[in-house]
């Protein structure tokens, strides 16, 4: 065994493709004194048996960017390291068997084009020409990516390992990390064990790249890495005479992919109901292991495969392969620093795309560790999106049985998972359910997305066109615009920041001025050093020394981590009080009349103007009424102690009859906020979006003194903006916008839609998206002609820098 140092700048745990890539990229950034420890042999976990598909077509722009980086890197790696990676750019074809799937793959092609990925929609004749063995019956559309490829996964990892070693990384096999040491909320090092020998390494940085072992290892330090292994299958035929170089082929509607390799055919499966594995833990001696074959489980895919690829009917089967791979509750991997522990980094949970993802993910994580800030928006895969409850093994087991198959299912907008539901519920859940609520899930929370009418089916019927709830959303939307609607937003994250130095901490972290009188609410962002947005929130000053921060439910762990990370010597207590209060949002021009019926307090502009809150009596209980809105109307967010929420709901509902009060869901909330161009964190504003370019300069007060990101704001003011967030409305009222459609300016793709929904009041699909504009005036920017490309078709769009709905905020201040 090689000598193991007593000290290292970083310790990487796990020698699969993930760990090797992180090591390679840290070394490439000039880091020395890095050690990678592998409990058995490099690649002996999952990496050795991957199918080796390298596909760049991903569902979002930054995932496409990372996959493209991997593909480019793997092409160069062999020349750099001398290790034959087997990387062959044979191209790939994805075929659609339904019109809905065709729409999806065409949308992905539009998105990929916006990122310079070479992709083309191809005809049936071209499919047949490129893939003569394929039975094309039922194929209605196809896309071709000539630079996609296939590789030898183990050798990709070995090449990355060699590249890392060449730059000085110490890679030691047969050494298991047994413990991560911690002091004062920070990593201080690890303990290792090897053949009876034991030792420690001091280090401030540990990177958990332990694949399907990552959850258990993290749990020892209270770090949530919710993943669970599933059995994952493919078969390889005996050599088939005459079979030679073919593109990789995906037939997602039949849950299958095909890969030609050395004259044999591989058929891999993404079956709808998968088999979780390793419930009682992973055997200690697991090393290059495979799992028992299960022909009955694979058979339905094989039957479709034989029809689709008739040669399979006569070819002999060389291997039925079954190997474990880790899957996560939302089919996205984990990257970044764990919110629970400083210095504990994670790159794991790859959902069967670890080979194609690890090149890019390793690069991004290394840069993140190096700079202390993510190099670009990685929220989609950020470990801070996890919820503590998701460590529950039964929850994971049930959920991953679904998520494996979802990778090849139709990725319809608003698609909801169906397993392991109902974990986090508002106290109003049963009330809303009894009144027709159809729920969706975010961060484990069940939230009413829309309300079915009497007799209407309470199910989603998914489509890329108008779904079955479109009219329900319209009615709810218009009730908010013209009357009054009630939303349950209990899922908001709520954080109390209290203590002698609470104001000082928040003034240092927030861009707006929080030195306001108790009773005021301030809309603000927390910025990083680049002036980009880490968090979007409202802060209510409860007293001289206490503040309530309200954040989206999905970002709570991230926001808590950001606050705690920046807490220096200040005397401040930060507490998650999410479960203590429910939030009922009463919104619409008639909300004042209605609230006045259930509360004796004064809700006039004099007593409770916009941006203030007051303690109120309501029904037989008490609440805090916050005069703010996310739908752009007069309204109040009522913060009600959880135990009184049902009572307050009933009181409002009874009084609301006279005003035609409508229960509203999250879909209507979103369509209303789109008309008002209110930004949504994670989509329109992220940690790579500068606060001024996001159009939120009004909430930045550089005159208040120093705060994180202030210098970057001042710099950008001097330099001028390089892009701006623009609101679009399609002229044609039929097409819909969701997310990621291409923005076309004067005939050229310049960006993508960051979020979209239907403007039921404005009468067309509304989207937000960034448009490059260096050195341009607003007038020049708006004088261009704009179109939005949806699945290859272009639609004329009106563009605006001011909200198209109520630009002067007169309704909000009514
Ligand atoms: C059948 C199948 C087909 C696949 N096909 C593809 C494909 O075509 N394309 C694609 O991109 N992906 C594919 N994948 C997925 C891909 O193989 C994985 O996502 C990837 O290999 C995961 O790499 P990893 O480094 O995270 O995990 P692993 O390869 O499992 O590496 C983790 C390592 O950590 C080590 N370790 C664990 N605990 C410790 C400890 N305490 N101390 C030291 N070391 C430790 C383990 O021994 C292991 O070697 C496929 C997977 C399967 C099962």
Question: Does 150 contact ligand 1 (Cβ within 6 A)?
Answer: no
Backbone angles phi, psi at 783, to 5 degrees: -80, -10
Cβ-based burial of 440 (10 A; exposed 0-12, middle 13-18, buried ≥19): buried
Per-residue pLDDT reduced to its tens digit, 542-592: 999 999 999 999 999 999 999 999 998 899 999 999 999 999 999 999 999
- For range 777-791, the mean pLDDT: 96
Q: What is the pLDDT of residue 113?
A: 84
Identify the bridge partners of residue 488 per DSSP, sorted by sequence position: 584
Q: What spacing in Å lies between the alpha carbon of 363 and ligand 1's midpoint? A: 17
In which band, very low, low, confident or very high, does the pLDDT at 487 lie, cut at 50, 70 and 90?
very high
291 close to 324: Cβ distance less than 8 angstroms: yes
Q: Is 549 left (phi over 0), alpha (psi -120 to 50) or beta?
A: beta
Token pair 């300016």 in the structure block, residue = 745
Nearest residue (CA) to ligand 1, atom 19: 354
Q: What spacing in Å lies between the alpha carbon of 570 and ligand 1's midpoint? A: 42
Q: What spacing in Å lies between the alpha carbon of 52 and ligand 1's midpoint? A: 12
Is the pLDDT confidence value at 404 over 80? Answer: yes
Query: Positive or negative, the Cα torsion across 496, 755, 698, 774?
Result: positive
Question: Does 234 contact ligand 1 (Cβ within 6 A)?
Answer: yes
Full DSSP string of 225-291: ---EEEEEEEEEESP-TT-----EEEEGGGTEEEEEETTEEEEEE--SS-EE--TT---TT-SS--P
Strand bridging mode 635-641 / 445-451: unpaired
674 close to 768: Cβ distance less than 8 angstroms: yes
Q: What spacing in Å lies between the alpha carbon of 327 and ligand 1's midpoint? A: 11
Cβ-based burial of 376 (10 A; exposed 0-12, middle 13-18, buried ≥19): middle
SS3 state at 693: coil
In which band, very low, low, confident or very high, does the pLDDT at 59 lie, cut at 50, 70 and 90?
confident
Q: Structure tokens of 466?
A: 């108008």
- For range 303-330, the mean pLDDT: 95
Which residues are within 8 A (CB) of 142 and not within 5 positions of it... i.e. 6 or more apart?
A: 93, 94, 95, 96, 105, 121, 122, 123, 124, 126, 127
Among 11, 23, 43, 47, residue to substitute to test ligand 1 (most atoms within 8 Å of Cβ): 47
Q: What spacing in Å lies between the alpha carbon of 638 and ligand 1's midpoint? A: 48
Nearest residue (CA) to ligand 1, atom 45: 14
Strand bridging mode 613-618 / 621-626: antiparallel
Question: Does 232 contact ligand 1 (Cβ within 6 A)?
Answer: yes
pTM of the model: 0.96
257 close to 250: Cβ distance less than 8 angstroms: yes
Question: Does 85 contact ligand 1 (Cβ within 6 A)?
Answer: no
Full DSSP string of 190-226: EEEEETTEEEEEE-S-EEE--GGGHHHHHHTTT----
Question: Does 217 contact ligand 1 (Cβ within 6 A)?
Answer: yes
Q: What spacing in Å lies between the alpha carbon of 70 and ligand 1's midpoint? A: 16
Q: What is the dihedral of CA 169, 170, 171, 175, to 10 degrees?
A: -140
Nearest residue (CA) to ligand 1, atom 18: 354
Question: Does 211 contact ligand 1 (Cβ within 6 A)?
Answer: yes
Q: What spacing in Å lies between the alpha carbon of 700 and ligand 1's midpoint? A: 45
Question: Does 14 contact ligand 1 (Cβ within 6 A)?
Answer: yes
Q: What spacing in Å lies between the alpha carbon of 720 and ligand 1's midpoint? A: 45
**Mean pLDDT score of the chain:** 96
Backbone angles phi, psi at 243, to 5 degrees: -80, 125
Q: What spacing in Å lies between the alpha carbon of 14 and ligand 1's midpoint? A: 9
Is the pLDDT confidence value at 782 over 80? Answer: yes
Q: Structure tokens of 535?
A: 């968090």
CA 785 – CA 776 distance, rounded (Å): 15
Q: What is the pLDDT of residue 76?
A: 94
Q: What spacing in Å lies between the alpha carbon of 175 and ligand 1's midpoint? A: 17
Query: Positive or negative, the Cα torsion across 705, 706, 712, 718?
Result: positive
Question: Does 52 contact ligand 1 (Cβ within 6 A)?
Answer: yes
SS3 state at 527: strand
The ligand 1 atom nearest the CA atom of 210? 34
Per-residue pLDDT reduced to its tens digit, 409-445: 999 999 999 999 999 999 999 999 999 999 999 999 9
- For range 30-58, the mean pLDDT: 95
Q: What is the pLDDT of residue 57?
A: 80
Query: Positive or negative, the Cα torsion across 444, 403, 156, 249?
Result: negative
Q: What is the pLDDT of residue 62?
A: 87
Among 192, 352, 360, residue to substitute to test ligand 1 (most atoms within 8 Å of Cβ): 352
Nearest residue (CA) to ligand 1, atom 41: 177
Q: What spacing in Å lies between the alpha carbon of 468 and ligand 1's midpoint? A: 40
Question: Does 180 contact ligand 1 (Cβ within 6 A)?
Answer: no
Question: Does 19 contact ligand 1 (Cβ within 6 A)?
Answer: yes
Question: Does 790 contact ligand 1 (Cβ within 6 A)?
Answer: no
Among 274, 290, 355, residue to substitute to test ligand 1 (most atoms within 8 Å of Cβ): 355
Is the pLDDT confidence value at 2 over 80? Answer: no
Identify the bridge partners of residue 750 per DSSP, sorted by sequence position: none
505 close to 562: Cβ distance less than 8 angstroms: no
Nearest residue (CA) to ligand 1, atom 48: 45
Q: What spacing in Å lies between the alpha carbon of 290 and ligand 1's midpoint? A: 13
Q: What is the pLDDT of residue 569?
A: 87
SS3 state at 565: helix
Question: Does 39 contact ligand 1 (Cβ within 6 A)?
Answer: yes
**Residue bearing the bigger pLDDT, 735 or 65:** 735
Nearest residue (CA) to ligand 1, atom 38: 210
The DSSP symbol for 116 reads T
Q: What spacing in Å lies between the alpha carbon of 646 and ligand 1's midpoint? A: 48
CA 442 from chain centre, in angstroms, equals 11
Among 16, 152, 326, residue to substitute to test ligand 1 (most atoms within 8 Å of Cβ): 16
Q: Structure tokens of 740?
A: 């990621």
Q: Structure tokens of 787?
A: 């179109």
CA 407 – CA 319 distance, rounded (Å): 24
Is the pLDDT confidence value at 141 over 90? Answer: yes
The ligand 1 atom nearest the CA atom of 323? 53
Q: What spacing in Å lies between the alpha carbon of 369 and ligand 1's midpoint? A: 22
Question: Does 323 contact ligand 1 (Cβ within 6 A)?
Answer: yes
Q: What is the pLDDT of residue 75?
A: 92
Identify the bridge partners of residue 122 per DSSP, sorted by sequence position: 142
277 close to 291: Cβ distance less than 8 angstroms: yes
Backbone angles phi, psi at 18, to 5 degrees: -65, -55
Among 45, 180, 250, 274, residue to substitute to test ligand 1 (most atoms within 8 Å of Cβ): 45
SS3 state at 463: coil
Q: What is the dihedral of CA 709, 675, 753, 441, to 10 degrees?
A: 90
Per-residue pLDDT reduced to its tens digit, 356-397: 999 999 999 999 999 999 999 999 999 999 999 999 999 999
């Amino acid at each position: 065994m090689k000598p193991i140092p007593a000290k290292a700048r970083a310790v990487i745990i796990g020698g699969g493709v993930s760990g090797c890539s992180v090591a390679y990229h840290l070394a490439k950034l000039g880091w020395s004194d890095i050690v990678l420890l592998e409990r058995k042999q490099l690649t002996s976990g999952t990496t050795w048996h991957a199918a080796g598909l390298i596909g760049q077509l991903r569902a979002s722009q930054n995932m496409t960017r990372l996959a493209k980086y991997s593909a480019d890197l793997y092409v160069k790696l062999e020349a750099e390291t001398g290790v034959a990676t087997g990387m062959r750019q044979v191209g790939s074809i994805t075929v659609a068997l339904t019109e809905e799937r065709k729409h999806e793959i065409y949308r992905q092609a539009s998105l990929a084009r916006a990122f310079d990925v070479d992709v083309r929609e191809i005809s049936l004749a071209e499919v047949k020409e490129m893939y003569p063995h394929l039975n094309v019956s039922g194929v209605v559309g196809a896309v071709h990516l000539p630079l996609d490829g296939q590789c030898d996964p183990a050798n990709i990892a070995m090449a990355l390992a060699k590249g890392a070693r060449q730059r000085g990384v110490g890679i030691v096999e047969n050494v298991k990390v047994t413990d991560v040491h911690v002091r004062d909320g920070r990593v201080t090092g690890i303990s290792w064990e090897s053949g009876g020998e034991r030792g420690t390494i001091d280090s401030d940085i540990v990177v958990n790249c332990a694949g399907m072992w990552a959850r258990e290892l993290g749990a020892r330090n209270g770090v949530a890495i919710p993943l669970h292994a599933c059995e994952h299958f493919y078969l390889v035929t005996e050599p088939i005479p005459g079979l030679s170089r073919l593109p990789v082929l995906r037939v997602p509607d039949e849950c299958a992919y095909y890969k030609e390799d050395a004259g044999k055919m591989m058929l891999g499966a993404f079956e709808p109901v998968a088999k979780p594995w390793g419930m009682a833990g992973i055997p200690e001696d697991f090393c290059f292991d495979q799992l028992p074959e299960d022909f009955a489980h694979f058979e339905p895919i094989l039957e479709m495969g034989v029809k689709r690829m008739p040669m399979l009917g006569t070819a002999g089967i060389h291997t039925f392969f079954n190997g474990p791979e880790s899957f996560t509750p939302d089919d996205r991997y984990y990257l970044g620093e764990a919110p629970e522990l400083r210095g504990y980094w994670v790159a794991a949970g790859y959902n069967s795309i670890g080979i194609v993802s690890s090149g890019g993910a390793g690069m991004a994580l290394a840069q993140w560790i190096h700079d202390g800030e993510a190099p670009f928006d990685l929220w989609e895969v950020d470990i801070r999106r996890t919820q503590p409850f998701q460590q529950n093994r039964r929850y994971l087991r049930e959920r991953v049985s679904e998520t494996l198959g979802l990778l090849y299912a139709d990725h319809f907008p608003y698609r909801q998972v169906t397993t392991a539901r109902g974990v986090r519920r508002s106290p109003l859940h049963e009330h809303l359910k009894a009144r027709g609520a159809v729920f969706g899930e975010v961060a484990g929370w069940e939230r009413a997305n829309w309300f079915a009418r009497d007799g209407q089916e309470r199910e989603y019927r998914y489509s890329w066109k108008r779904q079955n709830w479109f009219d329900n959303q319209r009615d709810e939307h218009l009730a908010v615009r013209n009357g009054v609607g009630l939303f349950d937003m209990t899922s908001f994250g709520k954080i109390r920041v209290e203590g002698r130095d609470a104001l000082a901490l928040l003034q240092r972290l927030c861009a707006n001025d929080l030195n306001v009188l108790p009773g005021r609410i301030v809309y603000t962002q927390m910025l990083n050093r680049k002036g980009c947005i880490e968090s979007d929130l409202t802060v209510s000053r409860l007293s001289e020394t206490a503040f309530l921060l309200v954040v989206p439910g999905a970002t709570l762990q991230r926001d808590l981590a950001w606050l705690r990370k920046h807490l220096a010597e200040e005397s401040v207590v930060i507490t998650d009080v999410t479960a203590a209060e429910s939030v009922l949002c009463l919104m619409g021009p008639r909300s004042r009349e209605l609230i006045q019926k259930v509360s004796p307090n004064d809700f006039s502009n004099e007593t409770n103007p916009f941006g203030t809150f007051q303690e109120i009596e309501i029904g037989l209980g008490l609440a805090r009424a916050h005069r703010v809105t996310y739908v752009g109307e007069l309204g109040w967010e009522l913060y009600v102690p959880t135990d009184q929420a049902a009572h307050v709901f009933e009181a409002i509902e009874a009084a609301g009859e006279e005003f035609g009060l409508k229960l509203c869901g999250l879909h209507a909330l979103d369509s209303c906020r789109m008309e008002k161009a209110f930004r949504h964190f994670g989509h329109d504003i992220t940690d790579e979006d500068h606060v001024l370019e996001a159009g939120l300069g009004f909430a930045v007060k550089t005159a208040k003194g120093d705060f994180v990101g202030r210098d970057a704001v001042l710099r950008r003011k001097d330099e001028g903006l390089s892009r701006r967030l623009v609101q679009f409305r399609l002229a044609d009222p039929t097409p819909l916008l969701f997310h990621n459609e291409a923005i076309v300016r004067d005939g050229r793709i310049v960006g993508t839609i960051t979020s979209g929904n239907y403007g039921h009041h404005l009468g067309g699909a509304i989207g937000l998206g960034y448009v490059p504009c260096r050195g341009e005036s607003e007038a020049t920017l708006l004088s261009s002609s704009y179109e939005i490309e949806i699945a290859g078709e272009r639609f004329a769009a009106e563009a605006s820098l001011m909200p198209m709905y109520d630009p002067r905020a007169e309704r909000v201040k009514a």
